[in-house]
Amino acid sequence: MCHTRRVKHSTLPHPAGTPSFRVLLVGALWLASLSAGAVETLENAWEIGLRHDRPVQMATQQHAASQEFEAAAESARWPGLQISASYTRLSEAPEASASLPQLPLPLPLPSSLSLPLSKDRFQNRHATLTLPLYTSGRISHAIEAARASVEVAAADLRRTRQDSKLAIAKAYLNVLRAQQLALVANQHLSSLLTHQHDVQAFFAQGLVAKADTLAVTVAVADAQQRQIQASNAVDLASAAYNRQLQRPLATPVTLAETQFQPEHTELAQLQHLAQQQRAELDQLKSGSTAMTAQARAVRSADGPQLALIGGYHHLDNPYLKQDTFRSLSLGLSWDIFDGGVNRHQAAALQARASALQLQRDEVQSFIELQVREAWQRQQEALQRKQVAQATLAYAEENLKVAKDRYANSLAPQSEVLDAETRRAGALGNLHNAHYDEQQAILQLRHAVGNL
């Protein structure tokens, strides 16, 4: 004959008065305090993080530096003005000597004549304006290399920003995951405390054995362990998130939930899109272009260099009729042989350009794999989420049945405890699957290059 267990009025303390419940209450109040402050969205986190992220700041400075180098390369086309001055002291004043012919004159004449050319101390001042007319392509190739370097820096900045956004998003989702798992741990502990109170009441009425009270006490203690671990995980996740945003680690964190929709585009189309959008490929392509242009600029230095030179000169010489002169020259220079220095330097730069192109081919294959992995993880997380939702419904129904069977003496208490554990596990699996899905969606966007 089955005996129905009903909890009668008892002098047993309510769970609210037990130490276990006080631990639960502290955890619940702590989790509730997380929603007391202003809610921060992922877009807010990205804005704050990108503004303070040091790698992004470094990449921004590198981009600015490349633009300055481009401006410097373009400035080489314009005339250059040089001003120079010198002060010279000679060991003796220079003179010009001339022989005089001996003429049959009544008065004797000197046989030679010395004329001073300048003083032994004098100053010279010059202003020269040089305009390059033809450089065998040296300046134009240098400008091409500088522009390609700007594209390299811009691609690196774009890549760094996307990497930073992904890191911030992972830290953001880790906080949400930890908070939800902490709520699961608190709910599990609360449910076990309620069940423990009922079991103790049954035991006081002589309806269950002492073993039931011991078993539920052990289960409550295990739930307390998990609740403590979950609370600590929230604190660590929040600290890591604050560090990602360059904030004090103890800053309170209240985050809005994310609901990113899965990407339904075909895998092949996503891989093709990644080949067009990924910053790494643009960076390597522009790097190869820059190296090739630098090699051509170095080779051009061996060619003829033609310039128009205008000058203004002042000579400190009292023996000259005028001491200021203007000049206009057409200058040609041509390094016929330099021992092969420029040739070897150009070959080295061209080899680096080829290496970057090979590296781009390798990265292109790796990006295809990254997109496939991210796409597969999204599909996996979506399927896990669907299974977890169904499992949770079964686990909740199973818990109700187990409690009813136990209350009617149709099942041992272990069935209730197992059902409680399965329900908590199913709820935790659902949260893990949800945040794995959200992270996989962002990972796929990053792999495609449009995060």
The one-letter amino acid code at 208 reads: V
Owner of token pair 């900045």: 157
Token reading at 198? 């009922």
Domain ranges of the chain: 25-87+120-448
Q: Which residues pair with 89 in a beta bridge?
A: 121
Distances from the Cα of 354 to the Cαs of 185, 226, 267, 289, in angstroms? 57, 56, 30, 10
The one-letter amino acid code at 127 reads: A
Alpha helices in 205-311 (DSSP H): 210-244, 267-277, 279-300
Q: Can you give the three-state secondary structure of 155-204, one letter per residue?
A: HHHHHHHHHHHHHHHHHHHHHHHHHHHHHHHHHHHHHHHHHHHHHHHHHH
Task: Tell me the mean pLDDT in the region 108-119.
Answer: 76
What is the reported pLDDT for 24?
47
> In whole angstroms, what is the distance from residue 36 CA to residue 52 CA?
25
Token reading at 326? 């203007």
The one-letter amino acid code at 285 reads: K
Give the Cα-Cα-Cα angle 175, 181, 184 (nearest 5 degrees).
145
Greater model confidence, 318 or 45: 45
25-87+120-448 folds as: Outer membrane efflux proteins (OEP) (1.20.1600)
Q: Which residues pair with 40 in a beta bridge?
A: 255
What is the reported pLDDT for 442?
95
DSSP characters for 347-407?
HHHHHHHHHHHHHHHHHHHHHHHHHHHHHHHHHHHHHHHHHHHHHHHHHHHHHHHHHHHHH
Strand, helix or coil at 244?
Answer: helix
The contacts found for 192-197 with CB under 8 angstroms, 24 or more apart, are 192/216, 192/219, 192/220, 192/223, 192/417, 192/420, 193/15, 193/18, 193/20, 193/21, 193/24, 193/220, 194/15, 195/403, 195/416, 195/420, 196/15, 196/20, 196/220, 197/12, 197/14, 197/15
Q: HSE on the CB side for 374, CA within 13 Å?
A: 29
Question: For 302-314, how does the pLDDT look when each residue is reduced to its tens digit (9 = 90+)?
Answer: 899 999 999 999 9
Question: For 195-250, how does the pLDDT look when each residue is reduced to its tens digit (9 = 90+)?
Answer: 888 888 888 887 778 888 888 888 889 899 999 999 999 999 999 999 999 999 99
> In whole angstroms, what is the distance from residue 373 CA to residue 376 CA?
5
Q: Which residues of 250-289 are buried (b: 16+ CB within 10 A; e: fewer)?
A: eeebebeebebebbeeeeeebbebbeebbbbbbbbbbbbb
What is the reported pLDDT for 386?
92
Task: Tell me the mean pLDDT in the region 86-114.
Answer: 77
> Running DSSP on this structure, what letter comes out for residue 12?
S
Residue 346 pLDDT > 80: yes
> What is the number of other CB atoms lying within 10 angstroms of the CB of residue 183?
17
pTM of the model: 0.79
Least confident of 89-98, 136-145, 240-249, 279-288: 89-98
Helices 341-407 and 279-300, interaxial angle, to 10°?
170
Q: Is 425 exposed, middle or buried (0-12, 13-18, 19+ CB in 10 A)?
A: middle
> In whole angstroms, what is the distance from residue 204 CA to residue 209 CA?
10
Token reading at 140? 């134009």
Least confident of 35-44, 46-55, 251-260, 269-278: 35-44
